[in-house]
Amino acid sequence: MKEFSAGAKAAGKTVALVPTMGALHEGHLSLVDIAKKNADITVVSVFVNPTQFGPNEDFDKYPRQLAEDAAKCEARGVDVVFAPSASDIYAPDASTFVSEESISQNLCGKSRPKHFRGVTTVVTILFNIVKPDCAVFGEKDAQQVSIIERMVRDLFMDVKILRAPIVREESGLALSSRNKYMTQLERAGATRIRRALLAGKALVDSGGTNIDRIKALVINEVTDAKTRVVYVEVVDAKTSLPVTELKVGQCRISMAVWYGSTRLIDNIII
Amino acid sequence: MKEFSAGAKAAGKTVALVPTMGALHEGHLSLVDIAKKNADITVVSVFVNPTQFGPNEDFDKYPRQLAEDAAKCEARGVDVVFAPSASDIYAPDASTFVSEESISQNLCGKSRPKHFRGVTTVVTILFNIVKPDCAVFGEKDAQQVSIIERMVRDLFMDVKILRAPIVREESGLALSSRNKYMTQLERAGATRIRRALLAGKALVDSGGTNIDRIKALVINEVTDAKTRVVYVEVVDAKTSLPVTELKVGQCRISMAVWYGSTRLIDNIII
């Protein structure tokens, strides 16, 4: 991969990276489209990164389907699928970590304490191997994008971060590899996440500015027998840091819920 | 600096970086000589990095003499002196850190808890700005070199790390910018650090392999009324990790002592 990128650079080509954990869906492929518009060569990395999963999380059952992913990439015009093994990426005595310690403390960081450290470390490694001019991240993981942008700024990495809008099913459910864990009935029920976010936005659109009331409404709308709310927060749309005052159009409602035994996240600009 | 390096690379030149905190002495300049032998262009960074000093350490009194440093660099054939300000390097809300969490726990890491995190973070930033093909570090800070080598390996950084041997006064005292803190009398006394390390090596050369006895001898030899030993340890010469068994020629006695009000480090291969 390093040699390929060096060759591409030497030939004057620009490289875009789309980092993924595989189990590619139309959300990932929309990132590929953005990558292709912004660089000569598009690299999709497929790596289920062990260090971003907690001890009781779904690392083992996370879907792995490399042949199918590679076919989807090829059909979409991806130039390179980079699918290293865990031992390619991590030496047995690997002991270096990249951590972001402000944005990562909120939202998903509270319930997944080492998750973002795993993300920033592996993204740094992927950047150093692939050496992309730009990299595309989806806004479903809005906090993740904010953290990556902060990392790139703080460490002077020469990578332009591109944000891709959330892709949804017709039902409104945000596409996620983890949707596979749900039954049809659960997927139908999980559409209330999107409806709750839209209700929050409608409140703001009709003049509501009280953050507590927005949060309370979203929590109320999302709740049914299968829902367990991890958080509903109003944050700055760019940095994902908590806000105390609503600035219309510059904030985001971010939420995580367990729906049955599946942890889902979604967000909406307000 | 980024533009200069990009231009140099585009012209097919290689770049070597010598990261320093300034107050340059012959030790630093020996690193410059190695840099010049290994690359077309030599960059010396001069940056007294605030994040690698603890709250009660000598950040404020650390010697700053940029004009003198620049003159020394020019006389030695350095191509670029890169001397950013703290605000060039750190945004007010900087929150990203690079940390090595194994090697950094020992030796100086025990008494300077965030020191190496500051070092690995700033070296990453300097690497990302200067984009050197190689970088030179002095073996007086042997633990630091081991940590940098580990970081480069773990994060797949494309920088070759070159080690430079310790440069000493005729008295045996290892050159250090902190030697300036000492009176002539203290400097004379501090030469016992080198003598103690030589005594440790002599014990090994004469067949001694008991690590406790080596350490005890060195501690005994170094001790006088002005000495406070921070640590004396036998470590692996390459990784700086503790060893339980002596492998002759592959180990190092590393030590830190306060001599009067100056903290000094030194080491010797055994």
Percentage, residues of chain A above pLDDT 90: 99
pLDDT of residue A38: 98
What's the pLDDT tens digit per position in A37-79?
999 999 999 999 999 999 999 999 999 999 999 999 999 999 9
Chain B residues closer than 8 Å to A98 by CB: 96-98, 155
pLDDT of residue A106: 97
What is the CATH topology of the domain spanning B2-164? Rossmann fold (3.40.50)
Chain B residues closer than 8 Å to A124 by CB: 155
pLDDT of residue B87: 97
What percent helix, strand, coil does chain B show, rounded to 5? 45, 20, 35
Instruction: Indicate yes or no: CB of B95 within 8 angstroms of CB of A96.
Output: no
**Backbone φ, ψ for residue B78 (5° rounding):** -70, 140
Q: Is B88 on the interface with A (CB under 8 A)?
A: no
Instruction: Indicate yes or no: CB of B154 within 8 angstroms of CB of A102.
Output: no
Residue of A180, A203, A235, A157 whose CA lies nearest to A61: A180
Chain A residues closer than 8 Å to B120 by CB: 96
Instruction: Indicate yes or no: CB of A153 within 8 angstroms of CB of B125.
Output: no
- Tell me the shortest Cα–Cα distance from B154 to chain A, in angstroms: 6
Domain segments of chain B: what residues?
Answer: 2-164, 177-269
What's the pLDDT tens digit per position in A24-36?
999 999 999 999 9
Percentage, residues of chain A above pLDDT 70: 100
What's the pLDDT tens digit per position in B196-252?
999 999 999 999 999 999 999 999 999 999 999 999 999 999 999 999 999 999 999
- Ordered DSSP codes for B105-166: GSTHHHHSTTHHHHHHHHHHHHHHHH--SEEEEEGGGHHHHHHHHHHHHHTT---EEEEE--
pLDDT of residue B2: 97
> At A214, is the pLDDT very low, low, confident or very high (cuts 50, 70, 90)?
very high
Active site residue B115: no
Residue A179's CB is within 10 A of a number of other CB atoms, namely 18
What is the CATH topology of the domain spanning A177-269? Pantoate--beta-alanine Ligase; Chain: A,domain 2 (3.30.1300)
Residue A159's CB is within 10 A of a number of other CB atoms, namely 21
Instruction: Indicate yes or no: CB of A102 within 8 angstroms of CB of B120.
Output: no
pLDDT of residue A41: 98
Statement: the pTM of the whole predicted model exceeds 0.95: yes
> At A235, is the pLDDT very low, low, confident or very high (cuts 50, 70, 90)?
very high
Helix (H, G, I), strand (E, B) or coil at A114: coil
The average confidence (pLDDT) of chain A is 97
Instruction: Indicate yes or no: CB of A125 within 8 angstroms of CB of B155.
Output: yes
Each residue's pLDDT, cut to its tens digit, for chain B (270 residues) gives 999 999 999 999 999 999 999 999 999 999 999 999 999 999 999 999 999 999 999 999 999 999 999 999 999 999 999 999 999 999 999 999 999 999 999 999 999 999 999 999 999 999 999 999 999 999 999 999 999 999 999 999 999 999 999 999 999 999 999 999 999 999 999 999 999 999 999 999 999 999 999 999 999 999 999 999 999 999 999 999 999 999 999 999 999 999 999 999 999 999
Chain A residues closer than 8 Å to B121 by CB: 155
Residue A250's CB is within 10 A of a number of other CB atoms, namely 12
Name the DSSP class of B268: E
pLDDT of residue A146: 98
Question: What interface predicted TM-score (ipTM) does this complex get?
Answer: 0.96
Name the DSSP class of B54: -
Q: Please answer whether residues B11 and B39 qualify as being in contact, where contact means their C-beta atoms are separated by less than 8 angstroms.
A: no
pLDDT of residue B132: 98
The single residue of A24, A28, A123, A270 carrying the catalytic annotation is A28
Q: Is A103 on the interface with B (CB under 8 A)?
A: yes
Q: Is B150 on the interface with A (CB under 8 A)?
A: yes
Cα–Cα distance for residue pair B90/B182, rounded to 1 Å: 32
